[in-house]
Structure 1
Amino acid sequence: MSEVKIVATLTPLKQHVDTIRSAAQAMVGPTQLEAGCLQYDLHESRAIPDVRNLANEGAVSFVFIERWKSEEDLKKHVAMPYHDDFLEILDGKLENISVQRLEKL
């Protein structure tokens, strides 16, 4: 089986940034302990509205960089009770969510 790479970006509504940050941070520890997890890193980003001015002034997002040994391992992760709890916390608190699967060229 081949490795699976995922980038998941969560952009919370302004009033929910702290809640989403805490919930996202809580996902890291238990996920990294999963047998099929090769990488599960959380980053906080800010949109840069103008690339000529690199000030971090835009919306806050949280970006997960994930690598899994296999599709089956990713499916096991998504079936974890704490993943369901995380999705419940996110409900109604996000401006946008983007989950992308990466394929190396």
Structure 2
Amino acid sequence: MTTPLTLIATITALPGQAEAVEAGLRQLVPPSQAEAGCLQYNLHRHQELPNRFIMVEQWQDAAALRAHQQTAHFLHFGETCGSLLEQVDHQLMQRIL
């Protein structure tokens, strides 16, 4: 049995681009949540840093995460919003308890 993977993506929009990035992220959530192997896909906005978004994802396994990263909606977000981003940081974790 495989252990689910958790991915925390911290997405920082360029100054003045937070609303456009949020709109793009909002479009990304529903189809991602519907993917096979997606256990959790939730969007959060930092309370003190309004240009920063946190995506909390949980995937059944590494194959499900890799498949997600090749979907049309994931690639579309990169194409439409990639130039609006200052930084993206990924932390991949595996639950131990």
**Fold similarity call, TM over 0.5:** yes
Q: Percent identity?
A: 27
Aligned to 1:93: 84
Q: Deviations over 1:17-42 (max 9, x none)?
A: 11100000111101111110000000
Distance 2:81 2:89 in 1: 13
- Is 1:74 paired with 2:65? yes
Distance 1:11 1:89 in 2: 15
Structure 1 unaligned regions, length at least 5: 47-55
| Equivalent residues in 2 for 1:13-92, closer than 5 Å | 13-46=14-47, 56=48, 58-92=49-83
Greater C-alpha radius of gyration: 1
State the aligned residue count: 95
Distance 1:15 1:101 in 2: 29
Q: Which runs of 4+ in 1 moved over 4 A?
A: none
Q: Is the 8 A contact 2:5 2:92 kept in 1?
A: yes
Distance 2:93 2:85 in 1: 23
Distance 1:37 1:28 in 2: 11
Structure 2 unaligned regions, length at least 5: none
Distance 2:3 2:94 in 1: 11
Q: TM-score, normalised by structure 2?
A: 0.89
After TM superposition, give the deviation of residue 4 of structure 1 in Å: 0.9
Q: Write the letter of the residue equivalent to 2:74.
A: H
Distance 2:41 2:95 in 1: 18
